Amino acid sequence: MQRRRSFLATAAAAVATPAIARAQDVIRSAKASYRLVTLSRDLEQPWSIAFLPDGRLLITERPGRLRLFARGRLERAPVGGLPKVYARVQGGLLDVCLHPRFTENRTLYLSYAGEGEGGAATVVARAELAESGGLRGVRPIFEALPRASGGLHFGSRIAFDRAGLMYVTTGERFQMQRAQKLGDLGGKVVRLRDDGSVPPDNPYLGRDGARPEIFTYGHRNPQGIAMHPDTGRMWLIEHGPRGGDELNLLTAGANYGWPLATHGIDYNGATISDHKSLPGMKDPVRAWVPSISPCGLAFYTGDRFPGWKGSLFTGALSNHALFRIELQGERYVGEERLLVDRLPFIRDVRQGPDGLLYLVTYSDDGGLYRLEPA
């Protein structure tokens, strides 16, 4: 218990409100009153955040930088040793995720758009964060082949389950039919061991014409994945086209329909499919029409906001809001829109070791923010 208290004290000091932090007025919602605190406004297109065990934050910037927020300030120099990224349109440096045993091995993972013959693809690299602060031993362990031209729909979230297996989301690169092809890694959720090898119980292992990495398919551009803290099951959130954003509960081997079944239409108003649901395909737990452009996904398990415990949070890029989603078991119950028009383009949301919520906003003057109980 003493060790736990010591860790929390260290973590709290690492993310303590700095002199530059600014707290707005009290905001009242259905189940909590809170303040929005600005921690930094010096980030360029931040995409993801991850907490180190001592409470410091790693923050990715899409143009290809990994930043460190420590002792209440954003460190000026980026973390060194990053791989080269394809930083065009939506491509670039995207997610960052720690190994479940980071305290033992100091291993982390980066997802990014990587370029090669034929174009770009979602890549996951494994690396060690040296005590000196830079990355070493950077090694790509997965690539969502085939590569394609253009800079759209990379997916790119990473999450681990209780067994230590890694889930990676991939977009279909704005080529919708790729999501239905089992010999193609676009538009999928893949499941890997921590070294990039394939677990022996993956659903398509040994099937002719299918990639063994695939866990689920029929996805468009999934940009949020999180493990339920009680059931251990993986939840996914993904962008639809014009309408048809989805919250999905993942089942091994399942087809989630895109583009054969969708609640959305094409950007020019054309029909993509006449079907919202089809036999043999999994329906979303929740579909949004019109789109909210969901990004980032986190279950809240802390005690600082008792009324939010068990809620699922996602940024809503096109709604300029943070969505709090209530579930009852595996059933959608309702949702609440927080921070409406207070922050633009919330790209990621995470719970910190202090039980508070942290957000980053995706813009050239992007910010790091914290929600505190009032």
Catalytic sites, residue numbers: 153
Separation CA 328–CA 252 (nearest Å):
22
How far apart CA 366 and CA 15 sit, in angstroms, is: 18
CA separation (Å) from 68 to 18, 222, 275, 342, 361? 15, 26, 46, 25, 16
C-alpha 91/C-alpha 26 separation (Å) is 37
Query: Which residue has 């253009």 as its token pair?
Result: 150
Q: How far apart are CA 28 and CA 313, in angstroms?
A: 17
User: Which one, of 109, 107, 193, lies nearest residue 156 by Cα?
Assistant: 109
Number of H helices, E strands in the chain: 2, 26
What is d(CA 295, CA 346) in angstroms, rounded to the nearest whole number?
Answer: 7
* Contact by Cβ (8 Å): 337, 319: yes
- In angstroms, the CA 92 to CA 112 distance is 5
Q: Which of 362, 364, 363, 335 is nearest to 348 (CA)?
A: 362
